[in-house]
Chains A and B, each alone.
Chain A
Amino acid sequence: MSESLSYFRKRSRIGAFVRRNPVALKELRGRMRGSRAFAVLTVYVTLMGLFTASLYLIYSASTTLTLTTSGGIIGKLIFGGVVAIELFLVCFVSPAFTAGAISGEQERRTLSLLRTTLLPARRIVIGKLLSALAYNVLLLIVAVPLQSLAFLMGGVTIEEVVLSIEILLVTAIAYGAIGIFFSAVTRRTLTASILTYTAILLTTVVMPIVSFILFLLSPLGGNFAYGRTVFESILLAVFWLSTALNPVAAAVSTEVVLLSKGTVILFTHRLAYGLNIPLISSWIPYTIFYLMLTVILIALTIRIIRRYGAD
Chain B
Amino acid sequence: MTAIIDIKGLTKRYKTITAVDDLTLSVEEGSIYGFVGPNGAGKTTTMQVLTTLLKPTAGEAFVAGYSVTRNPRDVRRVIGYMPDFFGVYDDMKVWEYLDFFAACYDIPESDRPPLIADLLALVDLSHRADDMVDGLSRGMKQRLCLARTLTHDPQVLILDEPASGLDPRARVEIRQLLVELAGMGKTVFFSTHILADVQEICTQVGIIEAGKLVMQGDIEDMQRQLIPYREVVITLIGGADKAKDFLFAYEGVQVVEDRSADNGRSRLHVTMAGDDMAVSQLLAAMVAAEFPVMHFTEETRDLESVFMRATKGIVS
Contact A309–B92 (Cβ < 8 Å)? no
Query: Which of A24-32, A68-76, A144-152, A284-292 binds B?
Result: A24-32
Q: How far is the CB of B226 from chain A (nearest CB, A)?
A: 35
Q: With A5-B113, A5-B117 as given contacts, are A119 and B104 in contact (CB-CB < 8 Å)?
A: yes
Q: Which of A26, A115, A116 contacts B100 (CB 8 A)?
A: A26
> Contacts A113-B87, A116-B52 given: A22-B103 contact, CB under 8 Å?
yes
Contacting pair B87 A109 (CB below 8 A) = yes
B85 located at the interface, meaning its Cβ lies under 8 Å from any Cβ of chain A in the complex:
yes
B173 at the interface (CB under 8 A from A): no
Q: Report whether B83 and A112 are in contact in the complex, using a CB–CB cutoff of 8 Å.
A: yes
The digit string for B112-142, where 1 denotes a CB below 8 A from any CB of A, is: 0110010011000010011000000000000
Q: A1-B114, A8-B113 are in contact. Are A25 and B103 (CB under 8 A)?
A: yes
B158, closest chain A residue (CB):
A116
Residues of B within 8 A of A25 (CB): 100, 103
Instruction: Output the nearest chain A residue to B120 by Cβ-Cβ distance.
Output: A4
- Given the complex of chains A and B, what is the CA–CA distance between A118 and B101 in angstroms? 10
B11 contacts the other chain (CB 8 A): no
What's the Cα separation between A308 and B83 when bound, in Å?
Answer: 16
Return the chain B residue nearest A34 by Cβ.
Answer: B91
Q: Contact mask B50-83 → A, CB, 8 Å, 1/0?
A: 0111110000000000000000010011010101
Measured CA separation A215–B174 after assembly (Å): 70
Contacts of B81 in A (CB 8 A): 113, 116
B90 at the interface (CB under 8 A from A): yes
Number of interface residues of B (CB under 8 A): 39
Point out the residues of chain A lying under 8 angstroms from B120, CB to CB: 4
B261-280 residues with Cβ-Cβ distance < 8 A to A are none
Q: Hey, what's the 0/1 contact readout for A102-127 against B, CB within 8 Å counting as 1?
A: 00000011101111111100000000
Q: Is A7 interfacial (CB-CB < 8 Å)?
A: yes
Per the bound structure, the CA–CA distance linking A30 and B100 in Å amounts to: 12
Show 27 residue pairs from A and B whose CB-CB distance is below 8 angstroms, ordered by the A residue: A5-B113, A5-B114, A5-B117, A7-B129, A22-B103, A22-B104, A30-B89, A30-B90, A30-B91, A33-B91, A108-B88, A108-B89, A112-B83, A112-B87, A113-B83, A113-B87, A113-B101, A115-B52, A116-B53, A116-B79, A117-B101, A117-B105, A118-B73, A119-B104, A309-B53, A309-B54, A310-B55
Which are the 5 A-B pairs with shortest beta-carbon distances? A22-B103, A110-B87, A117-B104, A30-B91, A119-B104
What is B's interface to A at a CB cutoff of 8 Å? 48, 51-55, 73, 76-77, 79, 81, 83, 85, 87-93, 95-96, 100-101, 103-106, 109, 113-114, 117, 120-121, 126, 129-130, 148, 152
